[in-house]
C-alpha cells in the first residue's frame, strides 16, 4: 500500500467546465476527508465520509460541488461549472475509526491541483 492516492495530480480547465477528482484512501481506513488549500492558507475542511455515508459538509461546499464514496472505498469530488475562484489544491485524507476511537492522525494524499483559466 502506497498511502492515499489522488488523481489527477494536476488539472487545467476553462471556466465553466466540469472536473472530477478521485481519491483512493488507505485500504483499511473507513473515514475519508476532502480539504481545499489555497495559496498562503492552511487546508480548509470540505466534507467527510464514514464508509459510504457523507456525515458532514462545509458551507464552503457550494451546490456546484458534489462528493461521493459509493462503495465505501474510493471517493470522487466533482466541481460543476468551474469558476476561477475554484483554483486550489484539493487534498484527500483518510483515517480509521475503530470502536469509536480515533488517534487523530489523518493520512494525506499529495493533492490534486486545479487551475481554472
Partner 1 sequence: AQRVTQPEKLLSVFKGAPVELKCNYSYSGSPELFWYVQYSRQRLQLLLRHISRESIKGFTADLNKGETSFHLKKPFAQEEDSAMYYCALSVRQNTDKLIFGTGTRLQVFP
Question: Which residue, 88 or 91, has its beta carbon nearer to partner 1?
Answer: 91
> Which region among 10-18, 22-30, 42-50, 63-71 touches partner 1 (by CB under 8 A)?
42-50
Q: How far apart are CA 40 and CA 80, in angstroms?
A: 25
- Expressed in percent and rounded to 5, the helix, strand and coil fractions of the chain are 5, 50, 50
Q: Cβ of 68: how many Cβ atoms within 10 Å?
A: 14
- Choose the stretch contacting partner 1; rule: CB under 8 A; options: 7-15, 43-51, 63-71, 75-83: 43-51
Element (H, E) at 48: strand 44-50
Told to check if 103 binds partner 1 by CB under 8 A, we report: yes
Under the rule (CB under 8 A), what is the footprint of partner 1?
3-4, 33, 35, 40-45, 48, 55-56, 91, 93, 95, 97, 100-111
Amino acid at each position: 500500500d502506497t498511502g492515499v492516492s489522488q488523481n489527477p495530480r494536476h488539472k487545467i480547465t476553462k471556466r465553466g467546465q466540469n472536473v472530477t477528482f478521485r481519491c483512493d484512501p488507505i485500504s483499511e481506513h473507513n473515514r475519508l476527508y476532502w480539504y481545499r488549500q489555497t495559496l498562503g492558507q492552511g487546508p480548509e475542511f470540505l466534507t467527510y465520509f464514514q464508509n459510504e455515508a457523507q456525515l458532514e459538509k462545509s458551507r464552503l461546499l457550494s451546490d456546484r460541488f458534489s462528493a461521493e464514496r459509493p462503495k465505501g472505498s474510493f471517493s470522487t469530488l466533482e466541481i460543476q461549472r468551474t469558476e476561477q475562484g475554484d483554483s486550489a489544491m484539493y487534498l484527500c485524507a483518510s483515517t480509521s475509526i475503530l470502536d469509536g476511537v480515533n488517534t487523530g492522525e489523518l493520512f494525506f494524499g499529495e493533492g490534486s491541483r486545479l487551475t481554472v483559466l
